[in-house]
A and B are shown apart, each in its own frame.
Chain A
Amino acid sequence: MTMTTTAKQPSAFGNIARSNTAVGLFFMLPAAVFLLCFLTYPLGLGVWLGFTDTTIGRDGIFIGLENYQALARDSVFWMAVYNTIFYTLIASILKFGLGLWLALILNEHLPFKSFFRAIILLPWVVPTVLSALAFWWIYDAQFSIISWSLMKLGWIHSPINFLGDPNNARASVIAANVWRGIPFVAISLLAGLQTIPQSLHEAASLDGATGWQRFRFITLPMLTPIIAVVMTFSVLFTFTDFQLIYVLTKGGPVNATHLMATLSFQRGIPGGQLGEGAAIAVAMIPFLLASILFSFFGLQRRKWQQGGQD
């Protein structure tokens, strides 16, 4: 039966092998019910809704690609697409660079290291909406503490309009996103750094390698698998970000900071156009698939995707 094919399984397991599929499916039942009802079905329903003109309170009819044709002519939608790509790209690069830097610092021998490691993760633990509210207050047009400090230092003369100007607003939301994302990248990469044996570094420096060479030819190659996974997650969650934008700008000023997720929400829920909102959400799927496939094939030699061991 199925069990005898796996070499790991000793023969004692063969005795009950016949009932394994039944037992397995029975154990899978609770998770399967939830995931089919509230994950697979909505995923399909979302794709279907994208082809209909459903609004809140009225079941729609099939209208083919009309939603997508309307979106293709919609400059706000294209603005949201560009914003999402720009936002994901810049924020991910910054998160990676700063996170790696922080991980390298924390990997050194420091006093109170575990304490630092604990408090650094705080921005990631606290609910995003609530820390975004703090950022909203920090970015206040009139009473921003950043503007005040810079004015005291004499670097600027009038308060910065953080969220009122399109480019400032984009930079501000990216800064808040990076602030929240650094801890995740740093702590995950730190876990990877700690698996690199010190003896490699010692051997390399005896051979005359400089600090940069040790980083470039030892740390980076050994860290690559974990970097790939961490950044895939980071890109996925940045790309589908909703909370920060919704709290800080609600897509404004004049739709300049809309991401695809916030535009989808605005058209779908307050706007009532469920079909159009679903179409925008579906338009995110190709990008998500691309990054998942990248992670899958980029890391194919590692078997973690199938739940196996290396």
Chain B
Amino acid sequence: MSITEQTNPHVLTDDAQGMSYLNRLPRRIVVLYLPLAVFVFVLLFPFYWMAITAVKPNSQLTDYNNFSPFWVVKPTLDHIKYLLFETSYPGWLWNTLVVAVCATAISLVASVFAAYAIERVRFSGSRPVGLLIFLAYLVPPSILFIPLAVIVFKFGIYDTKLALIFTYPTFLIPFCTWLLMGYFRSIPFELEESALVDGASRWQILIRVILPLAVPGLISAGIFAFTLSWNEFIYALTFIQSSENKTVPVGVLTELVRGDVFEWGSLMAGALFGSLPVVILYSFFVDYYVSSMTGAVKE
């Protein structure tokens, strides 16, 4: 299928060997491998530290003289058990999942229609609308959360999951629409024309012709939107009060932090388990993820 290749132009390729064969090995070690090793070490160390702290018994956690801090002698699952059975953590995970899935679904549906309308229906004024969508993407949540809190309160959805499900699309829809516009653009007009000639309606063209061809774009946008809503913090912090409605980032920060030194184990376990779902999702769809990230920036 040449079309699927075309619709996914942002996947990176490494076929160019270029002139790297001219560099001798010692030079490559100093110029490439050493800095790369430092970068990888610095970028990954916090995760290692998170993981090792999560399984360290409390006795080793702060005793750096008798135990090497970089290793763990008798790993324990106590922190994780505490987290799963004695706190509301599983509930927070569930809340985050529900909110992220619902917000992503709403945003994807709205974005598919909007992107198709702007890119292919080309109604009068579609260009300014496309520009407005791009500008909407640049409006940061940190200037919206106070008025949004007022609105959410007036709608009577304060302190419910609905508050998050309705507000997350404000930053997801612009992003997904922008990304999908790029994908729709790469689908040839001829396919739509022949469908029109065969008597298909706009709706049928979108569902039967465009969407099947834009599946890579939908996956990219969906994964990215899911990750963004999983990671969202300021709205969840502002709009949610009760413990049973909190999301993972807010719950871990507001309920597990009690200023006690010995909580570090469960705190790091909470951070680790809150990160795992997005990391697993990411590891399955690295290329889609990278393409959506660079796709929003390129062109």
**Contacts from A to B (Cβ < 8 Å):** 2-3, 6, 8-10, 12-13, 15-16, 20-25, 27-32, 34-35, 37-39, 41-43, 45-46, 49, 54, 98, 101-102, 105-106, 108-110, 113-114, 116-123, 125-131, 133-135, 137-138, 142-143, 145, 148, 179, 182-184, 187-188, 190-192, 194, 198, 201-202, 205, 226, 229-230, 233, 236-237, 240-243, 246-247, 261, 264-265, 268-269, 274, 277-278, 281-282, 284-285, 288, 292, 302, 304-307, 309-310
Most chain A C-beta atoms within 10 Å of own C-beta, residue among B12, B61, B130, B148: B12
> DSSP majority for the B interface?
helix
Asked whether, in the complex, the Cβ of A306 is within 8 Å of the Cβ of B173, the reply is: no
- Tell me if B88 counts as interface (CB < 8 A to partner A): no
What 11 additional pairs, Cβ within 8 angstroms, besides A127-B274, A128-B233, A148-B64?
Answer: A25-B123, A34-B106, A46-B146, A49-B147, A117-B286, A182-B43, A229-B297, A246-B233, A269-B146, A281-B145, A305-B131
Q: What residues of B have a CB within 8 angstroms of the CB of A49 in the complex?
A: 146-147, 150
- Tell me if B299 counts as interface (CB < 8 A to partner A): yes
Q: What residues of A have a CB within 8 angstroms of the CB of B73 in the complex?
A: none
Asked whether, in the complex, the Cβ of A105 is within 8 Å of the Cβ of B142, the reply is: no
Q: What residues of B have a CB within 8 angstroms of the CB of A9 in the complex?
A: 122, 189
Q: What residues of A have a CB within 8 angstroms of the CB of B156 in the complex?
A: none
> DSSP majority for the A interface?
helix
Given A2-B123, A114-B14, A236-B138, answer yes or no on A278-B146 (Cβ-Cβ < 8 Å).
yes
CA distance A108 to B72 in the complex (A): 37
Q: Mark B139-183, 1 if CB is under 8 A from A, else 0.
A: 111111111111100000000000000110110011001100100
CA distance A134 to B45 in the complex (A): 10
Asked whether, in the complex, the Cβ of A137 is within 8 Å of the Cβ of B49, the reply is: yes
Say which residue of A35, A192, A236 sits within 8 Å of B136 (CB atoms).
A35
Given A42-B147, A127-B274, A134-B50, answer yes or no on A240-B142 (Cβ-Cβ < 8 Å).
yes
Nearest opposing residue in chain B for A233, CB measure: B297
Task: Report, nearest first, the 8 A-B pairs whose CB atoms are least far apart.
Answer: A24-B123, A27-B117, A240-B140, A31-B114, A129-B249, A261-B142, A42-B147, A307-B130
Most chain A C-beta atoms within 10 Å of own C-beta, residue among B140, B181, B248: B140
Q: What residues of A have a CB within 8 angstroms of the CB of B129 in the complex?
A: 28
CA distance A125 to B283 in the complex (A): 10
24 A-B residue pairs with CB within 8 Å? A13-B193, A21-B123, A23-B117, A45-B150, A46-B147, A102-B36, A106-B36, A116-B36, A125-B278, A127-B248, A133-B253, A133-B268, A137-B50, A145-B70, A179-B42, A179-B43, A191-B294, A191-B298, A194-B14, A246-B237, A261-B234, A304-B298, A305-B131, A306-B130
Question: What count of chain B residues pass the 8 Å CB interface test?
Answer: 114
Q: What residues of B have a CB within 8 angstroms of the CB of A191 in the complex?
A: 10, 12, 290, 294, 297-298
Q: What residues of A have a CB within 8 angstroms of the CB of B275 in the complex?
A: 126-127, 130-131
Asked whether, in the complex, the Cβ of A122 is within 8 Å of the Cβ of B274, the reply is: no
Q: What residues of B have a CB within 8 angstroms of the CB of A20 in the complex?
A: 121-124
* Residues of B270-299 contacting chain A, CB below 8 A: 270-272, 274-275, 278-279, 282-283, 286, 289-290, 293-294, 297-299
Asked whether, in the complex, the Cβ of A307 is within 8 Å of the Cβ of B118, the reply is: yes
CA distance A122 to B42 in the complex (A): 12
Nearest opposing residue in chain A for B174, CB measure: A35
Nearest opposing residue in chain B for A229, CB measure: B297
Q: What residues of B have a CB within 8 angstroms of the CB of A116 in the complex?
A: 36, 40
- Tell me if B13 counts as interface (CB < 8 A to partner A): yes
Asked whether, in the complex, the Cβ of B40 is within 8 Å of the Cβ of A122, the reply is: no
- Tell me if B77 counts as interface (CB < 8 A to partner A): no
Smallest beta-carbon distance A237→chain B, Å: 7
- Tell me if B26 counts as interface (CB < 8 A to partner A): no
Given A24-B117, A188-B297, A288-B140, answer yes or no on A3-B122 (Cβ-Cβ < 8 Å).
yes
Nearest opposing residue in chain A for B275, CB measure: A126
Asked whether, in the complex, the Cβ of B20 is within 8 Å of the Cβ of A109, the reply is: yes
Say which residue of A102, A284, A292 sits within 8 Å of B39 (CB atoms).
A102
CA distance A106 to B20 in the complex (A): 12
- Tell me if B90 counts as interface (CB < 8 A to partner A): no
Asked whether, in the complex, the Cβ of B278 is within 8 Å of the Cβ of A31, the reply is: no
Say which residue of A25, A126, A242 sits within 8 Å of B279 (CB atoms).
A126
Q: What residues of B have a CB within 8 angstroms of the CB of A135 in the complex?
A: 46
CA distance A274 to B152 in the complex (A): 14
* Residues of B226-252 contacting chain A, CB below 8 A: 227, 230-231, 233-234, 237-238, 248-250, 252
Most chain A C-beta atoms within 10 Å of own C-beta, residue among B119, B147, B170: B147
Asked whether, in the complex, the Cβ of A277 is within 8 Å of the Cβ of B123, the reply is: no
CA distance A126 to B46 in the complex (A): 11
Q: What residues of B have a CB within 8 angstroms of the CB of A101 in the complex?
A: 35
Q: What residues of B have a CB within 8 angstroms of the CB of A15 in the complex?
A: 196
Say which residue of A121, A237, A282 sits within 8 Å of B143 (CB atoms).
A282
Given A119-B44, A126-B279, answer yes or no on A281-B169 (Cβ-Cβ < 8 Å).
no
Asked whether, in the complex, the Cβ of B146 is within 8 Å of the Cβ of A292, the reply is: no
